[in-house]
Amino acid sequence: MKAIIPVAGYGKRMRPHTLTQPKVLLPVADKPMIAHIVEKLIEDGVDELIFVVGYLGDRIEAFIKKTYPIKSHFVEQKEFLGLGHAIYTANSFLNDEPIFIVLGDTIYDVDLKGVIQGKNSSLGTRKVTDPRRFGVVLMDNNGYIEKLMEKPKNFISDIALVGIYYFKSGHSLNEALSTLINENIKTKNEYQLTDALQIMIDEGEKFEIFNVNGWYDCGKTETLLETNAIILKRDFMHHSFKVENSIIVPPVYIHPSAKVISSIIGPNVTIGEKSNIENAIVSESIINSNSSIRKINMKSSLIGMNVQIEGEGKTLNLGDYSHLTIY
């Protein structure tokens, strides 16, 4: 079973962090966000991965090859012309075999084994309060998708696509994407995957939906911190960590190589490899590797790698190699 994972974007909503590393390598709890996705796919039977890479793609390739023995391919998207174009970049892998497409910045918690056993192609969905931010689906009376629309201005449905797509055969998707590109069919000036899916539906392909309750967005700082809190509560609520003269308010994750001295940590805090926290109060935050946090009361903050902070209480969003002293 193959899966295509598009990870080529700049991650502009996550700057300054994505100026120095790809968004999908930002930490969520105990590992980079892409690791949560890859490990879930492997658990559900995927044994071959195709990554559509672009900006800082060499770092993603290095991480995947170092961490996972799974068969992996890396295809470069040289122009960022939309999700449909990203998948078309990997069209050599779209054949008669079943295939998943999973977005690289959305952690999910759903068992895909049942989806694979279904007789039709199927799209992951959930109900949302603001459908204008998503591609949405309209169902017919027989339980199949009748219409898809990308980020509609007017309400047509509150059933939103969440970035998990399963195709019984990649061949018809390849043909639809080719039509999209060759006939220059764009929505909002991009080649949209939803438009390719609509072409398939109009030509008789049947799509069902499956519900994805466990869907965690990592696309911007606020939602990344929210997802971090959810994963910590799920996986680390009852873990204990070695600290010195400190109070831990769970859930937290502290890397074994990190040092925490005379501090209060938590709730909902991730502390990365070889970071040093001393005389600090930290909550609702992610601190990446090799950073030093001293004498500060910090909340709802995202801190990059190799950052040094010392001072009074703040909410911070600092990229890699920042050095901040507050007097």
Mean of pLDDT over the chain = 89
Give the per-residue pLDDT at 108: 87
Residue type for position 220:
K
306, 291 Cβ separation under 8 angstroms: yes
Q: From residue 203, give the alpha-carbon distance in Å to each of 40, 145, 173, 207.
A: 32, 13, 11, 12
Q: Retrieve residue 315's tokens.
A: 């909410």
Per the structure block, which two tokens stand in for 278?
Answer: 């001393």
Lowest mean pLDDT across 66-75, 134-143, 279-288? 134-143
Task: Quickly list H helices, 138-211.
Answer: 170-182, 193-202
Exposed e or buried b for every residue in 190-208, given b needs 16+ CB within 10 A?
bbbbbbbbbbbbeeebbbb
- In angstroms, the Cα distances linking 247 to 281, 300, 312 are 9, 18, 19
User: Which neighbouring-strand residues pair with 155?
Assistant: none
Q: Is the pLDDT of residue 327 over 60?
A: no
Of 9, 76, 3, 108, the closest CA to residue 45 belongs to: 3
CB 45 within 8 A of CB 116: yes
**pLDDT recorded at residue 323:** 59
CA distance linking residue 63 with residue 10, whole number of Å = 18
CA separation for the pair 170, 183 (Å, rounded): 20
Residue 282 CB coordination number (10 Å): 26
Paired sense of beta strands 323-325 and 247-248, if any: unpaired
Please provide residue 205's backbone torsions phi and psi, each rounded to the nearest 5 degrees: -70, 135
Average pLDDT of span 22-39: 92
In this predicted structure, the answer to whether residue 231 has a pLDDT above a threshold of 90 is yes
Q: Which domains does the chain have, with CATH numbers?
A: 2-217 (3.90.550.10), 236-325 (2.160.10.10)
pLDDT value for 213: 81
pLDDT of residue 218: 80
Q: What percent of the chain has pLDDT over 90?
A: 54
Q: Is the pTM of this model over 0.85?
A: yes
Q: Are 125 and 207 in contact (CB under 8 A)?
A: no
Q: Which two tokens stand for residue 17?
A: 């962090």
In this predicted structure, what is the pLDDT of residue 311? Answer: 79
Length of the chain equals: 327
pLDDT (mean) for 147-163:
85
